[in-house]
Amino acid sequence: MDNLIIEATRYTPQISFLADKNTLEIRGETYPENTAEFYSPVFTWLEEYLNQLTDQTVVVNMEIIYFNSSSSKVLMDLFDKFEEAVEKGKEISVNWFYDKDDESALEYGEEFQEDLEILKLNLIQKDRQ
Amino acid sequence: MNIKNKMLKSLFQLNKDFHQRGVFLNLSGPLSQNLMVEMGGLMKRKMELAGSDASVIRKAFSILVELNQNIIHYSAEKEPNSNQNEELKDSGCGIISVGCEGDHYFLLSGNMIDQGNVEKLTKRLISLQTMDKEELKKQYREQRKKGPDEDSKGAGLGLIEMARKVNKPLEFKINKINDTHSFFILKTII
């Protein structure tokens, strides 16, 4: 299937969902004016992608500098989708990168983790570039 | 004094009032995401120049985003003809002020709300005011899992998000304007 690439804007992140490499990346800041509208194609793509997946290992990299409250809900929904897929036996590894200079960033990752049952988030500290 | 001079005088007075209250940044009228981002950039630079911690600046920016989205989504005062312009489409009118009070920053927002929403909003804010950090965290996670109420245009998390970021409980005031509308003021202190 086709890759999904959405370039970053001032308030939406870079989305690189590469079906050919089984690598899904979200990087940047997320506070869209209309969150549901922005993420709708992302979820549509993801659903199709997860359905056609067989035994490949998927790596998800999330490096989100800032997310607003409605994006927080979207991220939770994304993790829920990954968790569902893992329950169905898919191999998905999720990396949550956080900035060491932002004391809240690790906490955000931990809070998502607390609300997931089987999906494990790898919380990885990243030095600021 | 003629009308022109009165207007000049009252704008001078208004500006002076803002200064006296420590307000250093104001945005008033139809709000948009782009305007808010510009305001946020200016606010960040001002706070950096004042030597504020990066964590304080991040909190202030995050609150600015939530206040702006609340006004855009929920203000009962809409920009007339806004549907004819992409940037102002769905925009709401209101005011956001950023200021400094002692060693704290504050962000204020004001906008019209429908009379029918007053009771629900009041209950919600009073309940958030009484919660400690752990209870707010629990509320936030529950609401995030559950998803928004039907009348919400976002995730229904904005107020809790702000309550978690502030140093003192959220302050608010709702003034009845007429039978159909009230003016809602929210104050966040960081």
Neighbours of A129 (CB within 10 A): 4
pLDDT of residue B76: 94
Asked if the structure places residue B185 within a domain, the reply is yes
Encode pLDDT of A85-119 as tens digits.
Answer: 999 999 999 999 999 888 888 999 999 999 999 99
Average pLDDT, chain B: 91
Instruction: Calculate what percentage of chain A has a pLDDT beyond 90.
Output: 88
CB contact under 8 A, B161 and A102: no
Encode pLDDT of B11-23 as tens digits.
Answer: 999 999 999 999 9
Interface of A to B at Cβ within 8 Å reads 10-11, 31, 33, 35, 66, 68-70, 72-74, 76, 101-104, 111, 114-115
Residue B153 has pLDDT above 80, yes or no: no
Asked if the structure places residue B34 within a domain, the reply is yes
Encode pLDDT of B80-138 as tens digits.
Answer: 776 667 766 768 999 999 999 999 999 999 999 999 999 999 999 999 999 999 999 99
Asked if the structure places residue B12 within a domain, the reply is no
Assigned CATH topology for domain A4-126: Transcription Regulator spoIIAA (3.30.750)
Quote the minimal CA–CA distance from B177 to chain A in Å.
Answer: 29
**In this structure, are strands A91-99 and A121-126 parallel, antiparallel, or unpaired?**
parallel
- Angstrom distance (rounded) from CA A15 to CA A36: 15
Cα angle A79, A83, A84; round to 5 = 120
pLDDT of residue B88: 67
Asked if the structure places residue B88 within a domain, the reply is yes
CB contact under 8 A, B161 and A69: yes
Encode pLDDT of A36-78 as tens digits.
Answer: 999 999 999 999 999 999 999 999 999 999 999 999 999 999 9
Query: CATH number, domain at B109?
Result: 3.30.565.10
Encode pLDDT of A2-20 as tens digits.
Answer: 999 999 999 999 999 999 9
Cα angle A64, A65, A67; round to 5 = 75
Asked if the structure places residue B138 within a domain, the reply is yes
For residue A79, the chain B residue with the least C-alpha distance is B145
Neighbours of B40 (CB within 10 A): 22
pLDDT of residue B42: 96
Contact A52, A17 (CB under 8 A): no
Q: Any CB–CB contact under 8 A between B37 and chain A?
A: yes
Helix axes B133-146, A103-114, angle to 10 degrees: 50
ipTM above 0.95, yes or no: no
State how many domains chain B has: 1
- Angstrom distance (rounded) from CA B40 to CA A69: 17
pLDDT of residue A90: 95
Give me the domain span that covers residue B49.
28-189
Which of A10, A43, A70 best probes binding to B when mutated, by most B CB atoms within 10 angstroms? Answer: A70
Of residues B7 and A74, more confidence is placed in A74
Instruction: Name the strands in the sheet holding B23-30, side by side, starting at the edge strand that comes first in the sequence.
Output: B23-30, B93-101, B104-114, B181-189, B171-176
User: Mean pLDDT throughout B33-60?
Assistant: 95
How many pairs of residues across A and B have Cβ atoms under 8 Å apart?
A: 56
Residue B150 has pLDDT above 80, yes or no: no
* H or E stretch covering A78: helix A69-87
pLDDT of residue B87: 67
